[in-house]
Amino acid sequence: MELVSVIMSTFNEPISYIEKSIESILNQTYGNIQLILINDNPNRKDLADFLYEMSKKYNNIKYLINKENLGLVKSLNKGIDVADGFYIARMDADDISKNERISVQIEFLKSNNLDLVGSNVIKIDENENEIGFINVPTKNNEIIKLNEYGSCILHPTWLGKKSVFKDLNGYRNIFSCEDYDFITRAIRNNYKLGNVNKCLLKYRIRKDGISISSEARQKLLMYFISCNRYIIDEIDIQDIENYINSDGYKKDYRMINNFIIEKNKLLTSCNYLYLFKIILNKYFYKSMRAKIKLKRF
């Protein structure tokens, strides 16, 4: 039974969320797990105290404290560097894994000769009420085909061979698109991917989620990666910075930002003036096409 290193970075999540996330990993039916906890908010005393106590309570927890806030990408890469497992799995500090998650994913990965897998998820609200689900394509060829439109392996559900993470040099520091960039690079390097056709994780939707401005930037960077997916290994961080500083980016940012604002206004006011403005925006069609292809409504 190979060791699975589960990497969880923490920052501003409530302790009650983090505790349930940790317990959901420690209570897995799979019997050989290392949990790597990364404290990316060293000035938060309640977080530091809680994580320290958990690391003392369980001998299969490895606890890392960043001297300063490094962000998710650098924190996850630190976790990859110290992981002892043959496999690496991801876990967000406000989600909940089902007890059989790791066992099912390991069996699915091995039986299908895959390198990295995910699963479907159940969406929950801040009180753990189920509010929907996300289904993802299961087969490698489907994932390759649909990756153009968005992430087909949901980041909090990842479980893959450590060699994949090491060979791709971990995550690149791309704002909120590090997972999409990673999967795109994995595809270009011919790694075999898949998803278990079961909901193995409860994915929490929080009211204090991504802001409108951040969502606009995230989507534009995803479109940039998608457009360059066939040459993604030739695209470096400087190319992305040049794009962000270009006039084309600024123009598209205004357009997609307006689309998101008007879409939110339409949902809250039912004013058809906003619908008219949305239909005139090219990102309406990009968004609808992605939703149809990925079957996410």
DSSP for 72-94, please give it: HHHHHHHHHHH--SSEEEE--TT
Which contacts qualify for 272-277: CB closer than 8 Å, 24 or more apart? Answer: none
pLDDT at residue number 208: 79
Distance of alpha carbon 101 from alpha carbon 134, whole angstroms: 16
Of 107, 88, 100, which is closest to residue 29 (Cα–Cα)?
Answer: 100
Top-tier CATH class for 4-204: alpha beta
pLDDT at residue number 213: 79
DSSP-based three-state secondary structure for 297: coil
From residue 242, how far is each of 221, 236, 238, 254 by CA, in Å? 12, 10, 6, 18
pLDDT at residue number 109: 98
Instruction: Using CB atoms within 10 Å of the CB of residue 247, give its burial: 0 to 12 exposed, 13 to 18 middle, 19+ buried.
Output: exposed
Task: Give the containing element (helix H, strand E) for 50.
Answer: helix 45-57
Distance of alpha carbon 188 from alpha carbon 163, whole angstroms: 16
pLDDT at residue number 263: 87
pLDDT at residue number 14: 96
Ranges of the chain with pLDDT below 50: none
pLDDT at residue number 118: 98
Tell me the chain's radius of gyration from C-alpha atoms.
Answer: 19
> What token pair was written down for 200?
């193995």
Distance of alpha carbon 17 from alpha carbon 252, whole angstroms: 36
pLDDT at residue number 209: 74
Q: Which residue ranges does the chain devote to CATH 3.90.550.10?
A: 4-204
